[in-house]
Amino acid sequence: MRSIIEYLKEIFNGVLSLLRGMRVTAGYFFRPSEIVTQKYPNNRKDLVMFERFKGEVVMPHNESNEHKCTGCGICEINCPNGTIEVISKTIVTEDGKKKRAIDRHIYRLGMCTFCALCVKTCPSNALAFSQKFEHAVFDRASLIKQLNKPGSQLMKGVE
Amino acid sequence: MEEKVEIIATDEKQEFIVNMGPQHPSTHGVLRLVVSLQGETVKNIQPHIGYIHRGIEKMCESITYPQIIHLTDRMDYLSAHQNNESVCLLVEKALEVDIPDRIKVIRTIMSELSRLQSHQLFWATFGMDLGGQTCYFYGLRDREMILDIFEETTGGRMIVSYNCPGGLMYDIHPNFQKRVKDFIKYFRKKLPEYDTILTGNVIFRERTSGIGPLTLQDAISYGITGPSARASGLSCDVRKHEPYSAYDKVKFNEVLFSEGDTYHRYMARNDEMRQSMNTIEQLIDNIPEGPYAVKMKPVIKLPEGEYFQRVETARGELGLFVISDGNKNPYRVKFRSPNFVNLGVLNHLAKGFKIADLIAIAGSLDFVIPDMDR
Amino acid sequence: MRFDFIASYVSAFTGPWWKFLYDFSLLTTPVHEWLNGSVSPFWTTVIEMVVVGVVFLLFYAVVGLFLVYAERKVCAFIQNRLGPNRIGPYGIFQTIADLVKLLFKEIIPIKNADSLLFNIAPYIVIIVNFMALAAIPYANGLHAIDFNIGIFYILAVSSMSVVGVLLAGWSSNSKYSLIGAMRSGAQIVSYELSIGLALITIVILSGTMQLSEIVEAQRTGWFIFKGHIPAIIAFIIYVISSTAEINRGPFDMAEAESELTAGYHTEYSGIKFAFFYLAEYINMFIVASIAATMFLGGWMPFHIGNLEGFNMVMDFIPPFIWYIGKTFFIIWIIMLFKWTFPRLRIDQLLTLEWKYLLPINLVNILVMSFLVLKGWHF
Amino acid sequence: MSNEWLVLFFILGAIFVGLVPVFSGIVAPKSFNPQKNDPYECGVPTEGITWLQFNVGYYLFAILFLIFDVETVLVFPWAVVMKEVGMTAFVEIVIFFFILGLGLLYAWKKHALIWE
Amino acid sequence: MDNKQLEDFIKSIDQDLEVRIGKQFTEVIVPPAKLYSLARQLRENEEAQFDFMFNLSGVDYGHDLGVVYHLRSTVHNHSIVLKTRTSDRENPQIDSLAGIWETANLHEREVYDLLGIRFTNHPDLRRLFLDSSWGFPLRKDYVDDINIVTK
């Protein structure tokens, strides 16, 4: 007799636990307001990434096409996997001194692991992360980018 | 003409061998299990790993200590923060750097958040392994909030790279405390739902209790750590035994069970989520003021010698063993990754159970394959 | 002759034009008589067959596609997602797009597979489906075949689908499929019993196996209310075991995607895979309509005792809507099962059947027959 | 409508599933690749032979199913006439179910209901 | 036992063993021939009870190949490090400890795979990550012109 009561109790508790679970899921079914999906490509316009989001490394330029990169190559040394290549040249400044300056700052997005060591160690804060996150391209070659814009110059006052 | 092959065997010695993985929905990555079956019963399991072996240990030998951090992110991607912490703690210990309290507290909060999101993902995938697909979405929905917290402060969602030798990469974001508190409030409401859907469910109970029991002796012998071992009663929480960061300042319980079956491995993680929330709540309101990083030398060189640092990741004890020859690159780095060690016990646990149980057992050990392969 | 037809036509439509919605024989009988009068009986049958055939094919396709869409939407809402929302408003054309895509997919033959059985398996599954659909009363007078052993026939036919599943799994030459087939064999065979016994409980109450009569007998009240406790128990058992019978979660042992990737239809590609997929949903529709017919009064509206006004309003809703509404309610419940519960293990599945459902069912039948004898039902 | 209509539904199903793959075969692309026709086994070649004898613990369930399915078939006609025959029918079915229940209990106690 | 007591304890087992107290652990340098018996005693001795092997790493010391064992006792909560090394680079052989600690099984396979140290009496010594076409990449003299690019 006792075993029969146990048996019925087991069934009752089992069904009860199942019904509790169903109440949760059915509850969500009737509360579409809790849907969390983003309609991604449609909300592209008002999709704002966090300001610290590590999208890709960029070199900010100001309006007069000036950047802060002195071409010291610290970012290249700090990069763990050879993402960055700094090609520098020697220029002659106005007061006649020879000075090292950047020719091309090559950044290979396909190799970048977003460890932020380059941005962090840059002595003149020349590098930054952009919020761009759609990196897919059809051609791998276009993942190799030159960060300094053509014709750009070192900002005044940055050593 | 295709050659005729014998396709129906009557030989009884033939084994029914099924490859589970590398492309299988429940191996959580590219783990390959060669399972020999007797009917539905598992006779033997041969794990094959190495599909994503990247040679992280070899790579570490040619890069500097701050650069190692970005590799540790990619081992156990669910405990990225704790992995980073292990390197930082080791370097700081070796150089005898004094770390301000602010850094310690932030590190503790971040690693508890990290553990929380890892356990959420465990809950989600474990439910899915057992066939309850909705769990997956609920788990990920709540995990998303932690990832947002990470992203706001560190700029990365999973690959956080937030630690660096001597402190942190950046200071916490101004919204950090508010967001964490909001999340705790939200998750305290959602966690009972987890229990209703899965823990209390009679089918779930039947599927997991008594399945794949791991005794204390076996857990010790196989070197199991983390929640999987604590479910068997092995007290192995590094946070208690060798407190690092701010763990000596917070109160939390080490979740211990004695049964060691799949259900208790699940429960250990489930309870740890509550413990993590308690820990975070204790710290979040009293983050001390101070710098977020200590000024380190530009080139970090460890004194010659051998160093060992343990941290408690979400899956168990991560040991970092470094031999330094005084250069800026380590001479030898060995990661004692919890998943790699936990894999060894799979055959022992699942033998004699059914295929469906194998999935449950493998799920309850909570494998992250890149951590195995390194 | 022509005049006779017109007379009967006129008499049929003396009421409002939508009157046939409430009694489909008002539409079918005149058409039948007109055909009989204008052409020979042979051609009458041929024409009617073609018409019914086309209607059923359309119905089959529409129900199948709609259920796939509904499942995706329902599970999406349960899981806090949006579900398909790109093709058409609210994504309603998503399944049609999927069907077209599957149609244009290559059918891959499997090395060393038993090609005859491999190809024949989807046929069996689909044909069985069609034959079961034939005997369901959709509305007042909308009934392709009205057997006097209707419920028995549906049981017999629908249990044949296990043959298709077994063949599919066995012939694929894949280990996952084989395990899936073995599981589904044991599973469907077992749950056949519970379905039968649960339906017997209702047959005792109704005293007939003819589906139209069973529906008619529920004019005064649905059987789930008439037979109160034993009928409710039988209903629960029926829903559980029919979920198992159609291989749906939490009883989807044969597919078990986390264990067997896709179970018995792992190796099927393109449109053949679509057949299995479609058959699964039509099966769901069939078991739900049987549940609606046997327990929830088929197309009968919901009446409460002597509340004339309420009953009038209920009567105003066409029977077909009632039938579809009830069926979809059951389908919704079955979907909720799948998206809430974890999967059982094969031995637990059999334990559930043999140690729980079967004994309860046997006792339930006795209780029901006792109630009927004593007249303790409503 | 008469029962011969079943033939229609049989033919209908056959035509439906017969024609659609033919259509699909015409419009679908074809390409050859030696790995493509392999049975799926998670991306590695199948080890050993698929069709070999293995124990699925079917037998007892098949026997039990046979017993109970025959019983279902027997009970269906009984259920139809149960109301008219009355008490006699009830007593008979009680006896019948009692014997059947004993059989189930026997199988239960003998652990025949456990899938190996 | 603290580090000093451990040193005395090891000395009591075998006088010839070289014991060093390092920054964190007591380190014992064992010749491969004595490794198995020492490990067995450490595991079974009531006072020591090193039942938990939490790390095993193979090291290439340049001329020697070595293995470092990190042991802990879950009972007494003390740790010890065993180190062994062999100068045979062609066919290095070290006793397997998989019979004492099950966890050594996978660890030793890993060391075999990456450093090529053969563990005698190992139950299942196969390559773990890589296939047989690879050399032993964690050795310092491993050359791979294609996959390893040095700056």
Q: State the DSSP string of C186-198.
A: HHHHHHHHHHHHH
Residues in chain A with CB shorter than 8 Å from the CB of C335 are none
Of the pLDDT bands very low, low, confident and very high (cuts 50, 70, 90), residue C1 is: very low
What's residue D4's pLDDT? 65
Token pair listed for B240: 């208690």
C-alpha span between B59 and C127 (Å, rounded): 61
C-alpha span between C189 and C119 (Å, rounded): 23
Of the pLDDT bands very low, low, confident and very high (cuts 50, 70, 90), residue D82 is: confident
What's residue E150's pLDDT? 63
Q: CA nearest E6: which of E76, E88, E86, E83?
A: E76
Residues in chain A with CB shorter than 8 Å from the CB of B159 are 113-114
Of the pLDDT bands very low, low, confident and very high (cuts 50, 70, 90), residue D115 is: low
CATH code of D11's domain: 1.20.58.1610
Phi-psi category of residue E55: left, alpha or beta, with phi > 0 → left and psi -120 to 50 → alpha? beta
> Do residue D51 and residue B9 have CB atoms under 8 angstroms apart?
yes
Of the pLDDT bands very low, low, confident and very high (cuts 50, 70, 90), residue A155 is: confident
Q: Phi first, then psi: what are they for D59, rounded to 5°? A: -55, -50
pLDDT in tens, B1-10: 344 445 454 5
Preferred mutation among A29, A50, A131 to probe B, highest tally of B CBs within 10 A: A50
What's residue B12's pLDDT? 55
Beta bridge partners of E128: none
The percentage of chain C sitting over the pLDDT mark of 70, rounded to a whole number, equals 92
Residues in chain B with CB shorter than 8 Å from the CB of D55 are 38-39
B343 interfacial to chain E (CB closer than 8 Å): yes
- In whole angstroms, how far apart are CA B276 and each of B115, B116, B118, B190, E73? 7, 6, 11, 15, 27
What's residue C148's pLDDT? 79
Q: Is E36 part of any domain?
A: yes
> Do residue B131 and residue C75 have CB atoms under 8 angstroms apart?
no
C-alpha span between C137 and B181 (Å, rounded): 58
Lowest mean pLDDT: which of B130-134, B303-307, E18-22? E18-22
Alpha-carbon gap: A104 to the closest alpha carbon of chain B (Å) = 24
Q: Phi first, then psi: what are they for C233, rounded to 5°? A: -60, -45
- In whole angstroms, how far apart are CA A2 and each of A8, C323, C357? 10, 44, 20
Residues in chain B with CB shorter than 8 Å from the CB of C342 are 127, 130-132, 135, 198, 201, 203-204, 207
Q: Which residues of B touch D (CB under 8 A)?
A: 6-12, 14-24, 32, 34, 37-41
In this complex, whether D and E touch, counting 3 or more CB pairs under 8 angstroms, is: no
Number of CB atoms found within 10 A of residue C77's CB: 21
Task: Kindly report the average pLDDT of chain A as a whole number.
Answer: 83
Of the pLDDT bands very low, low, confident and very high (cuts 50, 70, 90), residue C5 is: low
The amino acid present at C44, given as its one-letter code, is T
Task: Kindly report the average pLDDT of chain B as a whole number.
Answer: 84
Q: Are strands B16-20 and B8-9 parallel, antiparallel or unpaired?
A: unpaired
The sign one gets for the Cα dihedral D44, D50, D55, D60 is positive
Alpha-carbon gap: A45 to the closest alpha carbon of chain C (Å) = 18
Domain ranges of chain B: 16-373
What's residue B198's pLDDT? 86
B367 interfacial to chain E (CB closer than 8 Å): no
Q: Is D116 part of any domain?
A: no
> Do residue B50 and residue E130 have CB atoms under 8 angstroms apart?
yes
What's residue C2's pLDDT? 46
What's residue C212's pLDDT? 81
Beta bridge partners of B193: none
Q: Give the domain extent around E35.
A: 3-120
Distance of CA A73 to the CA centre of its chain: 22
**A&C contacts, CB < 8 Å:** 38
pLDDT in tens, E38-57: 888 888 877 778 888 888 88
Whether E17 contacts E30, CB under 8 Å: yes
The secondary element (H helix, E strand) that includes residue C304 is none
Preferred mutation among A15, A25, A35 to probe C, highest tally of C CBs within 10 A: A25
Whether A127 contacts A75, CB under 8 Å: yes
Whether D10 contacts C160, CB under 8 Å: no
Alpha-carbon gap: D69 to the closest alpha carbon of chain B (Å) = 25
Q: What is the DSSP letter of B287?
A: P
- In whole angstroms, how far apart are CA B73 and each of B31, B76, B89, B107, D7? 20, 7, 15, 15, 66
A34 interfacial to chain C (CB closer than 8 Å): yes
What's residue B164's pLDDT? 84
Cα pseudo-dihedral D41, D44, D50, D55, rounded to 10: -70
- Give the CA angle between residues B255, B257, B261 to the nearest 5°: 125
When computed from its CA atoms, the radius of gyration of chain C, rounded to whole angstroms, is 22
A32 interfacial to chain C (CB closer than 8 Å): yes
The total number of structural domains in chain E stands at 1
Of the pLDDT bands very low, low, confident and very high (cuts 50, 70, 90), residue B175 is: confident
Q: CA nearest E114: which of E139, E89, E95?
A: E139
Whether B151 contacts A50, CB under 8 Å: yes
Q: Which CATH architecture has domain B16-373?
A: Orthogonal Bundle (1.10)
Domain ranges of chain C: 2-38, 113-374
The sign one gets for the Cα dihedral C131, C134, C135, C137 is positive
Whether C162 contacts C140, CB under 8 Å: no
Q: Is E143 part of any domain?
A: no
The total number of structural domains in chain D stands at 1
What's residue B258's pLDDT? 85
pLDDT in tens, E60-108: 887 888 888 888 888 888 888 888 888 888 888 888 888 888 888 888 8
Whether C197 contacts C226, CB under 8 Å: no
Q: Phi first, then psi: what are they for A67, rounded to 5°? A: -125, 180
When computed from its CA atoms, the radius of gyration of chain D, rounded to whole angstroms, is 25
Quick one: average pLDDT of B111-117?
89
Whether C136 contacts C286, CB under 8 Å: yes
What's residue B47's pLDDT? 85
Q: Which residue has the tokens 């997929």?
A: C277
Task: Kindly report the average pLDDT of chain C as a whole number.
Answer: 80
Residues in chain C with CB shorter than 8 Å from the CB of B203 are 250, 341-344, 348
- In whole angstroms, how far apart are CA C77 and each of A19, A42, C336? 18, 20, 11
Q: Are strands B163-164 and B332-336 parallel, antiparallel or unpaired?
A: unpaired
What's residue B283's pLDDT? 87
Alpha-carbon gap: B12 to the closest alpha carbon of chain D (Å) = 7
Residues in chain D with CB shorter than 8 Å from the CB of C126 are 13, 16-17
Lowest mean pLDDT: which of B335-344, C363-372, E46-55, E140-149? E140-149
What's residue B173's pLDDT? 85
Half-sphere exposure of B263 (CA within 13 A, CB side): 17
> Do residue B203 and residue C173 have CB atoms under 8 angstroms apart?
no
The secondary element (H helix, E strand) that includes residue B50 is none
Q: Is D115 part of any domain?
A: no
Preferred mutation among A16, A24, A56 to probe B, highest tally of B CBs within 10 A: A24
Q: Is the pLDDT assigned to residue C150 strictly greater than 60?
A: yes
Cα pseudo-dihedral E44, E47, E51, E55, rounded to 10: -120
Residues in chain D with CB shorter than 8 Å from the CB of B10 are 52-53
ipTM above 0.90, yes or no: no
The secondary element (H helix, E strand) that includes residue B9 is strand B8-9
What's residue C182's pLDDT? 79
Residues in chain D with CB shorter than 8 Å from the CB of C267 are 39-40
Token pair listed for B350: 């699942």
The percentage of chain D sitting over the pLDDT mark of 70, rounded to a whole number, equals 78
Write the residue in B14, B22, B32 that is nearest to D49 by C-beta.
B14
> Do residue A80 and residue B200 have CB atoms under 8 angstroms apart?
no
Alpha-carbon gap: B151 to the closest alpha carbon of chain D (Å) = 35
Q: CA nearest C195: which of C223, C169, C222, C157?
A: C157
Question: Which class for D7: exposed (0-12), middle (13-18), buried (19 or more C-beta within 10 A)?
Answer: exposed
Q: Give chain B's largest Cα–Cα span.
A: 79
pLDDT in tens, C241-288: 888 888 887 888 777 777 787 778 888 888 888 888 888 888 888 888
C256 interfacial to chain B (CB closer than 8 Å): yes
B18 interfacial to chain C (CB closer than 8 Å): yes
Q: Is the pLDDT assigned to residue C11 strictly greater than 70?
A: no
What's residue B1's pLDDT? 38
Which residue in chain B is spatially nearest to E115 when comparing CA positions? B58
Alpha-carbon gap: B18 to the closest alpha carbon of chain D (Å) = 7
